[in-house]
Amino acid sequence: MITTRMLKSGFKTAWSHKLRATFMIASVMIGIASLTVIISLGKGTQEEVLSRVKKFFSATTINVMSGRVRMQGTHAKMDPTTTLKLSDIEDIAARIKTIVSWDAGQVELDKSASFNGQNAIVSLHGHMPSAEAVWNLVITEGRFFTKAENDGTARVAVIAPDVRKELFGDSGPIGRQIGIEGVPFQVIGTIAPRGPDPHGMSQDDQIIIPLNTMLKRTVNLDYVIAAKFIVTDKHAVNSAAEQITQILRERHRINTDEGDDFTVITPQAVNDMIRRATRVFNLYLPMLSVVFLIIGALIVANLMLLSVSERMKEIGLRKAVGAKSKDIQLQFLIEASSITLFAGSVGFAAGALLLLPITKMIDVPYTISWSVMLFCLAASSFIGIAAGFIPARRAAVLQPVESLR
């Protein structure tokens, strides 16, 4: 009963000073709202990155890139070389028995494609016939090219949705002849939309042609930029990755004291890169929100100290009629906690509303979990208790005679 009366009295007193309560609410609300946005954005960004990466790297996937891949901040920088040959990839596939399928590729960006006066800037990709299965390409019209067409360097092409729209509009592309850098190619198929790759680059502006055609008749190169291997199961990944490294170092005649001129990417390496890339959201930015919360706690503490100074006579009167020190202390803690808990609830709601346009603007999933809400409410309660402790302690030790003077 006494505790209930203190709760009612604490709430009533806290809200009787509206301007002071408003300042305390605003200071805590900003910190909680920013914390809600940042934690939720971190979760949404991580989910988006993982969904993109899963399209490229399954648990049984090993990727080999020419040159070294270095992390710079949240971005991967590639230093390509010309030493990775198609014969290297074929030798790896022949020697490692756990490899069940593979594809090698070459890429040329910002190439021009044309049809009947319509033009498009595309990324030109050369692949093996196995790419349809290895990269999970979904053919929506026509077909993918065959081994015979790759061996015979046929000028055939499979186009992505954006290219289809820009060159053909609503008309059918199958069997039509397009120009790629002035060289005629026949469109034999189209693929379904694939969205952005792990680096955020669109995959829907691609034209895919046979790898041999690209190397021998289009760009006149004798090397590939990357390869993808699928192994029997996830337990075979590490062993196969080690064998790939040994084979490539052997074929490229790399001395023991020299670094690799290629990069082998396993699912574990991808997970490590994702953790580094999302560290700014999961660690550093929440620390910035904690600074806002600390500032809010200091504001609450100062305003509660001011409240103690203004209510000395009230405190003295209550102690004179029998109120205990712990009752006075509890009342001030209730006042501080009630305000910060309310501010935390409002801040969480404001952060959830603010998050909606932000996620749409940067194209990440809208994600708010119960754990985020509980954490924010717990943080606001802690602020109230921590910020109200010193003022409550000061009020509790006041002597009635001194307070009533």
The pLDDT, as a whole number, for residue 281 is 64
Give the domain-ending residue among 230, 260, 290.
260
- Which residues touch 45 (CB under 8 Å, ≥6 apart)? 278, 281, 364
Model confidence pLDDT, tens digit, residues 246-283: 999 999 999 988 888 899 988 888 777 777 766 666 66
Using DSSP, state whether 317 is helix, strand or coil. Answer: helix
Asked, for residue 63, whether it belongs to a domain, the answer is no
Asked, for residue 273, whether it belongs to a domain, the answer is no
Model confidence pLDDT, tens digit, residues 150-184: 999 999 999 999 999 999 988 889 999 999 988 99
Domain identity same for 247 and 334: no
Tokens representing residue 39 in the block: 């934690």
Model confidence pLDDT, tens digit, residues 10-55: 556 666 666 777 777 787 888 888 888 888 887 777 777 777 666 6
Instruction: Tell me how far apart the alpha carbons of residues 223 and 221 are, in angstroms, rounded to a whole number.
Output: 6
Give how far the C-alpha of residue 329 lies from the chain's centroid of Cα atoms, to the nearest Å: 45
Q: Rounded to two decimals, what is the model's pTM? A: 0.67
Instruction: Tell me how far apart the alpha carbons of residues 317 and 403 are, in angstroms, rounded to a whole number.
Output: 8
Asked, for residue 199, whether it belongs to a domain, the answer is yes
Residue 353, domain extent: 2-51+278-404
Asked, for residue 163, whether it belongs to a domain, the answer is yes
Give how far the C-alpha of residue 79 lies from the chain's centroid of Cα atoms, to the nearest Å: 24
- Please name the amino acid found at residue 20: R
Domain identity same for 122 and 255: yes
Tokens representing residue 362 in the block: 């940067």
Domain identity same for 255 and 293: no
The pLDDT, as a whole number, for residue 86 is 93
The pLDDT, as a whole number, for residue 74 is 41
The pLDDT, as a whole number, for residue 378 is 79
Query: Where does residue 222 rank: exposed (0-12), middle (13-18), buried (19+ CB within 10 A)?
Result: exposed
The pLDDT, as a whole number, for residue 206 is 94
Domain identity same for 91 and 192: yes
Give the domain-ending residue among 200, 232, 260.
260
Domain identity same for 217 and 123: yes
Instruction: Tell me how far apart the alpha carbons of residues 393 and 329 are, in angstroms, rounded to a whole number.
Output: 6
The pLDDT, as a whole number, for residue 309 is 64
Domain identity same for 255 and 284: no
The pLDDT, as a whole number, for residue 299 is 74
Domain count along the chain: 2
Domain identity same for 132 and 86: yes
Which residues of the chain, if any, have pLDDT below 50? 1, 71-75, 401, 403-404
Per the rule left: phi > 0, alpha: psi between -120 and 50, beta: everything else, 67 is left
Domain identity same for 198 and 291: no
Instruction: Tell me how far apart the alpha carbons of residues 54 and 191 are, in angstroms, rounded to a whole number.
Output: 19
Domain identity same for 289 and 253: no
Domain identity same for 231 and 341: no
Domain identity same for 226 and 308: no
The pLDDT, as a whole number, for residue 14 is 60
Asked, for residue 72, whether it belongs to a domain, the answer is no
Domain identity same for 88 and 185: yes
